[in-house]
Amino acid sequence: MSTITPPQEQKPGHRFHKTGRMNSDLFMRIGAAAGAWVILLMLVALISVVTAAAIPSIRAYGAHFLFSSEWQPNRLPILKLGPNGKPIKNHGRNRFTEPWVIARDASGQPMYTPERLGALAPVVGTIQSSIIGLIVAVPLSLGAAIFLVRLAPRRLKGPVSFLIEFLAAIPSIAYGLWGMFVLQPWLGGPPRWFGKIPTGGMEAHLRDWFGNWPGLHWIFYTTGANGNEAAISLTGRDIFCGGLVLGIMIVPIITAISRDVLANVPRAQIEGAIALGATWWQSCKEMLKYSRSGLFGGIMLGLARASGETMAVLMVMGSTVEIAKSPFQGGTTMSALIASLYSEAATDEIQRGALMEIALILLAMSLLFNVAARYLVVGGASSRTAMAV
């Protein structure tokens, strides 16, 4: 004989609570997925918009745009040449506004040179200033990271770390003002002394100290149009000054990553090196060697920040669109060129497309640097953990 069990009495609100929890989980899943996909769509939209805006320049110049250092956005008049091959002087009524005779086509219209635009000069300027910034920042950052991990007392680690990371919170315009009104006058101009201590014109001091060294002469001297050697005008408004500012700006990024990477080095690695007779510096060298992939990833992130900096570089380097043969000459970077010329190129489709193509190159470089840094910092650590397991 079968028995029928009576239905169990459900507690009030039990069904509602379960349904509400399921709805909350569903909403959270949808929200998390939407956040991830929106970020990816933003990246795709950014690349699509920049690529579409750069199409006129890509069609006009093609691959030659990447290897040309000319930047002549204005169309210059073509002068009519005489039998001797020299321009013909204008003796007409408009001789004061047009001192030379302009060549004309078959329909009588004046002839002008085409626009000549190339990205090589700002690309080289970006690489030059970024390399100088890394030369300045990497030793300072690694030294600060080793100090925080191995030497600093417990009571100093927090304040020193805060002060170093506080540099990252300073706006770039503040770095630019400091570089323009403090660093640039200190570097440029004639050498100044306070007794036997140099207090200004440091670039002139460097030329006096190292200008005659073998292999360094080209940094301070150049060949003029007449073939004679001439000293470079040391004004402080150059790539060297921009590189110093960039180096100070990327110090907190590299320091923070290097500190975290060195802090995660196994203690047994250090104690084993000391037990084998290694000195303090040799044990630090083993730490750096063990975590070299993560340190290099932090350097790549600093390089990505340096290559994309705009206002600070524009204020201390200017916008000279030419390849500088010396770090003490003026130049420009990709981001600084875009910021300084985009308003003028608003009505010129080709020039605007050229600037957007430079932005596309800069975007590709930044993505490459970040992907490489991500792989070195996270991918390398994950692979080491998997091997240890």
pLDDT in tens, 162-185: 888 888 888 889 999 999 999 999
Same domain membership, residue 361 and residue 309: yes
Same domain membership, residue 303 and residue 161: yes
Residue 246 neighbours by CB under 8 Å, 6+ apart: 129, 130, 132, 133, 136, 137, 306, 309, 312, 313
In terms of Cα–Cα distance, which of 386, 167, 146 is closest to 287?
146
Same domain membership, residue 104 and residue 253: no
Same domain membership, residue 180 and residue 81: no
Residues in the chain: 389
Could you tell me which residues are beta bridge partners of residue 89?
100
Same domain membership, residue 329 and residue 260: yes
Same domain membership, residue 380 and residue 244: yes
pLDDT tens-digit series, residues 308-342: 888 889 899 877 888 888 999 989 999 999 988 88
Same domain membership, residue 257 and residue 330: yes
Q: What span, in angstroms and rounded, lies between the C-alpha atoms of 180 and 317? A: 9
Q: Which residue in this structure is represented by tokens 């239905």?
A: 7
221 lies in some domain: no
Could you tell me which residues are beta bridge partners of residue 230?
222
327 lies in some domain: yes
Residue 150 pLDDT more than 70?
yes
Three-state DSSP class for 310?
coil
Same domain membership, residue 239 and residue 107: no
Same domain membership, residue 161 and residue 84: no
92 lies in some domain: yes
pLDDT at 382: 44
Kindly report the CATH number assigned to the domain that includes residue 176. 1.10.3720.10
Please say which residue of 93, 112, 131 terminates a domain: 112
CB 183 within 8 A of CB 242: no
pLDDT band (50, 70, 90) for residue 368: confident
Q: How many domains does the chain have?
A: 2
Residue 224 neighbours by CB under 8 Å, 6+ apart: 230
Range of the domain at 104: 77-112
